[in-house]
Amino acid sequence: MNDEFALSALEQYLVNDFQRDLPLVPRPFKHIADTLGIGEDEVLDMLRRLKAGGVVSRVGPVFTPNHLGVSTLAAIAVPPKDLTRVAALVGRYPEVNHNYERDHRYNLWFVIAARDHEHLGKVIDDIASRTALPVLELPMLEAYFIDLGFRIDFGSDHG
């Protein structure tokens, strides 16, 4: 996130309080809007702004791995000088829902979710081709469930 990207109190509330337990209703953004006391279009505009500013990378559900489609953890050993560029390229794939740096020889890790094994393989092959780096595929052997919601403290000078 750009350090100069200021969030209003309403945007901070949106980021922190709607990361989980969104009801399965036909118009979830209207539900958020009603909770915040604003219009649905305003919520959608805020989410677009937050995404453009790098505050959020994705808005969507998280499904139990391999119950709806298929997924895998993957990693790439990226030369440090290329890490920002490669991470941005990988993050643009709609199938990638986590993309983060680790202090390891394999320094870029990400989760890929796809409709089937064929599509998953195509995404992995495309990432390898476009980065000119081999992708290490780390399929899940045992499930561990962690809460992926993270409260963000924006400090008193924001909003």
Query: pLDDT digits over 3-55, tens only?
Result: 566 788 888 888 888 887 777 889 999 999 999 999 999 999 999 998 888 77
Structural domain boundaries of the chain? 9-52, 70-138
What's the pLDDT at 152?
67
What's the pLDDT at 140?
78
- Amino acid residing at 17: D
The structural architecture, per CATH, of the domain 70-138 is: 2-Layer Sandwich (3.30)
> What DSSP assignment string belongs to 8-21?
-HHHHHHHHHSSS-
Asked whether the beta carbons of 95 and 135 are under 8 A apart, the reply is no
Query: Averaged over 88-100, what is the pLDDT?
Result: 90
Q: How confident is the model at residue 62 (pLDDT cuts 50, 70, 90)?
A: low
What's the pLDDT at 156?
45
Query: pLDDT digits over 105-148, tens only?
Result: 999 999 999 999 999 999 999 999 999 999 999 987 777 666 65
E strand or H helix at 122, and its extent? helix 117-131
Q: With 70 as the cut, is the pLDDT of residue 153 above it?
A: no
Query: Averaged over 88-109, what is the pLDDT?
Result: 92
